[in-house]
Amino acid sequence: MRKLEKLEIVKNVGSSWFALGVNVLVGVFLSPFILHRLGDTAFGLWVLIFSITGYYGIFDFGIRSSIVRYVSKYTATHDIEEVSGLINTATFTYTFIGIASMLVTVVGCVYIDRLFKIPPSFHSTAQFLLLMVGLSVSVGFPLGVFGGMLEGLQKFYVINWTNIAAVVIRGVLIVFYLSRGSGLLTVALITVSLPFIASLVRAAFALRALPLTFRWKYVNRKSFRCMAGYSGITFITIIAWNLRFKTDAVVIGAFLSSAAITYFYAGARLVTYAAELVGCLAQIFIPMSSQSEGNVRRLRQIFIVGNRACAFTILPITTILAILGKSLIEVWLGKKYVAQGYPVLMILIIPHTLALMQQAGPRILWGMSKHGKLAVVTVLEGFANLVLSLLLVRPLGIDGDALGTAIPLLGTFVIFMPWHLCSRLGVRISTFIREAYVLPVLLCIPLAAVLLFMQRSIVPHSKQQLGVQLVIGGVVYGTGLAWAYLSNRALHTGDLGAPAAPLELEPVAPRLESVS
């Protein structure tokens, strides 16, 4: 590998992990700050509106994924005409999508107080908030073309550093204005303005890296068919993803109250942070699998060691959340959110852990272009999620909504995913479980023992007490993990139908979504 290529990888991967850390830290700090100054109802309304507009992601139709793929392909062959056709056609399509989504927003503003249980004093605020966020998302569709261009050009560091700058500036401005008595709409204006400015900066970088001409003649049916042909299954997956992760706040807001969303958020957000960390790691398995297509031995190694790496990441987090979850919520948001937030956390963390332990599997299917069945199963899971949440939210409250998410997720990652991948790759299920998960589980036993022992002496109620226990637990787990890597047990694979060998993980920059 050339020195320039290594430098590019370091910039991409390093900036991705740093951006993730900044996003999480700012989010952890801002959530209680905003909550305690706006109150439960306003904060719940904030989460609700962003959940509603999150469904606008369906309107992407998988176009961005085709931009990434074909920009990379055409620039490799120096086919500027094809790139121009692709980008012009995508921009034209996204413009109409943005207009359509803005019309949906206007209709939503008229009926929002009838669809959700919002206190009368917040009706006008909810309408202005939805209009503001909806406009931002609508404009973001055509501007998103430039982010796709940068990904296709492997310039992830530009996206990451603009995200970092936007997140930090957003945090500073929100703290400044809330400290001086500003309200929810000011916070929303800051939140939607910074990504817009970041998108303009990315557009400047993208057009500098790949100078293109925007003309009507480059908008053509060939490019549109090319995008549509690739993005079809991606569109199905987008629908499934929105059904899986965007329904909770909407269901709770429709059947309970906007304040109840805040209590659900107290537990669910911790799970989301864990998922983002594992997802950032798991993205590297898509290109690795794509490069190894046809090499069954290599794919088996990626399957085993990739899932083992995901387990190394999520299992200690799950252990900490299970044992210290009440203290984390109390220190983070406040004691009154523990009683309802912790049960939500425990309901969600178990199925999410089983899913996150297997995140190499879906990436392998995507890399092999064999993800059709996965897309169908994920859609079925999403609809089951919605139906169960609707059935359980009235009798069981926010716990019922959490169960509606947890049960279908368990079905996908207990019944379908491991058996489907093992069958496709020719690996026994018992071999998969033993090779991928026994070592990560064993390394978490000392961590759990130490945390439980400390809990018998001191239950942490302050940042200092919680920090001490987290540091001690981290040292215990880190020592075990270091031993696993230094002894070559972390990357070693046993008999998978091929000679045993350690897997060399090649770093590839993952795509990182902004964390709110």
**pLDDT of amino acid 286:** 66
pTM of the model: 0.71
Averages of pLDDT over each 10 residues, the chain, 516 residues:
51 65 78 81 80 74 73 71 82 89 89 81 85 87 85 77 88 89 85 88 87 80 74 69 72 83 87 82 68 76 88 94 93 89 94 92 76 82 89 92 92 90 89 92 95 89 90 93 85 56 39 33
Angstrom CA distances, 46 to 31, 122, 176, 189, 461, stand at 11, 11, 19, 12, 28
Of 299, 293, 290, residue with least CA distance to 426? 299
Q: What SS3 class is residue 502? A: strand
- Let me know: does 450 contact 473? Beta carbons within 8 Å: yes
Q: Over 44-84, what HEC string results?
A: HHHHHHHHHHHHHHHHHCCHHHHHHHHHHHHHHCCCHHHHH
Burial class (CB in 10 A: 0-12, 13-18, 19+), 281: buried
Residue 502 β-bridge partners: 492
- Let me know: does 423 contact 294? Beta carbons within 8 Å: no
**pLDDT of amino acid 454:** 92
Q: How far apart are CA 248 and CA 487, in angstroms?
A: 44
Of 481, 472, 429, residue with least CA distance to 450? 472
Amino acid at 47: V
- Let me know: does 147 contact 159? Beta carbons within 8 Å: yes
- Let me know: does 408 contact 381? Beta carbons within 8 Å: yes
For the chain, the first-to-last Cα distance in angstroms comes to: 37
- Let me know: does 366 contact 310? Beta carbons within 8 Å: no
- Let me know: does 283 contact 12? Beta carbons within 8 Å: no
- Let me know: does 370 contact 213? Beta carbons within 8 Å: no
**pLDDT of amino acid 500:** 39
**pLDDT of amino acid 442:** 95
Angstrom CA distances, 449 to 209, 266, 287, stand at 53, 26, 38
H-type alpha helices, 210-295: 221-245, 247-255, 258-282, 285-291
Q: How far apart are CA 29 and CA 451, in angstroms?
A: 24
Q: How far apart are CA 427 and CA 432, in angstroms?
A: 7
How many helices (DSSP H) and strands (DSSP E) are in the chain? 19, 0
Query: Which tokens go with 278?
Result: 């594992």
In 10 A of CB 118, how many CB atoms?
21
Q: What SS3 class is residue 438? A: helix
Amino acid at 240: A
Query: Which tokens go with 97?
Result: 């999508």
Q: How far apart are CA 513 and CA 59, in angstroms?
A: 17
DSSP state of 411: I
**pLDDT of amino acid 507:** 37
Q: What SS3 class is residue 355? A: helix
Mark 22-52 as b/e (b = at least 16 C-beta within 10 Å): bbbebbbebbbebbebbebbbbbbbbbbbbb
**pLDDT of amino acid 515:** 30
Of 436, 515, 450, 510, residue with least CA distance to 480? 450
H or E element: which one contains 22? Answer: helix 3-38
In 10 A of CB 338, how many CB atoms?
20
- Let me know: does 143 contact 121? Beta carbons within 8 Å: no
